Amino acid sequence: MEIVILPDNAAIGRLGADAVGNLLQRKPAAVLGLATGSSPLSIYDELATRSADGSVSFAKASGFTLDEYVGLPADHPESYRNVIDKDFVSRVDFASGAIQAPNALAEDIPAACAAYESAIAAAGGVDLQILGIGTDGHIGFNEPGSSLASRTRIKTLARQTRIDNARFFGGNLDAVPTHCLTQGLATIMAARHVVLVATGPGKAEAVHHLVEGAVSALWPATILQHHPHVTVLLDGAAASRLQLAGYYRETYRAKPAWQGI
Ligand code: F6R
């Protein structure tokens, strides 16, 4: 796991965008895994800027979102399908139909989840998965207690997650759905490169477990310790509980340029 502690969101956005841009240069038809929420916004903003100036193109790329709320109508502004369109997809040059999301409106939810797994496999798997992390250590919406071997399925959102996300629903906890479809932990682990972003003091405990804690279903993100290629982009506040923060800073400063991101 590579831990990079950066001064601010803009620096996180640039490095995350470098990871995506380098991949697209090597593989223009890359498959991206797209998180929603606040954490990846700096990366999406930077990629939108680079797309506008022509330094990156998504014309041949495709993407899969991580998760979707159950119970929101298709036109709800907080449906993750609409959020990712607004925050990222509509701002770059993806071909139409290049982005897929789990179908939380399906009558047969298990079949929709299985179809999503098949679609990811048919696309050749995810090359680069962008992730945030919940204050309770979830990735995707794999809440504490999730099977470390899980695949896309329906989950009940933890109360803490609904409280955290009420800010997107006018502060009204009752408006936040209770269920979601989410890629499983094994689905996320199958991505070839994972770039996880965490900022702010509210993420410090989850980041401490992610990087330095014991691997446990209680902190689902800890499964990433078993992944061979994870890049964790943090600000100082999110890194504030890392015992080895000094070592991570030193390691990144001394990183040979040829290693890239
Ligand atoms: C979003 C997702 C979640 C968020 C996490 C952090 O698609 O899967 O795991 O990444 O809840 O959310 P923010 O970034 O809003 O703090």
32-70 confidence digits (pLDDT tens): 999 999 999 999 999 999 999 999 999 999 999 999 999
Q: What's the 249 CA to ligand 1 centre distance in angstroms?
A: 25
pLDDT band at 229 (very low <50, low <70, confident <90, very high): very high
**CA distance linking residue 42 with residue 38, whole number of Å:** 8
Query: In this predicted structure, what is the pLDDT of residue 9?
Result: 98
Query: In this predicted structure, what is the pLDDT of residue 44?
Result: 98
Query: In this predicted structure, what is the pLDDT of residue 24?
Result: 98
pLDDT band at 173 (very low <50, low <70, confident <90, very high): very high
Ligand 1 — pocket residues by CB below 6 A?
35-39, 66-67, 132-134, 138-141
Considering the chain, what percentage of its residues have pLDDT values greater than 90? 100
Q: What's the 144 CA to ligand 1 centre distance in angstroms?
A: 14
Residues involved in catalysis: 67, 136, 138, 143
What pLDDT, in 10s, does the model give residues 107-144? 999 999 999 999 999 999 999 999 999 999 999 999 99
Report pTM: 0.98
Burial (CB count <10 Å: 0-12, 13-18, 19+), residue 142: buried
Residue nearest to atom 1 of ligand 1 (CA): 36
Q: What is the mean pLDDT of the chain?
A: 98
Tell me if 64 sits within 8 A of 85, measured CB to CB: no
**CA distance linking residue 203 with residue 208, whole number of Å:** 9
Q: What's the 254 CA to ligand 1 centre distance in angstroms?
A: 31
Query: In this predicted structure, what is the pLDDT of residue 48?
Result: 98
Closest CA to 133 of 187, 197, 81, 65: 197
pLDDT band at 75 (very low <50, low <70, confident <90, very high): very high
For 76, the enclosing helix (H) or strand (E) is none
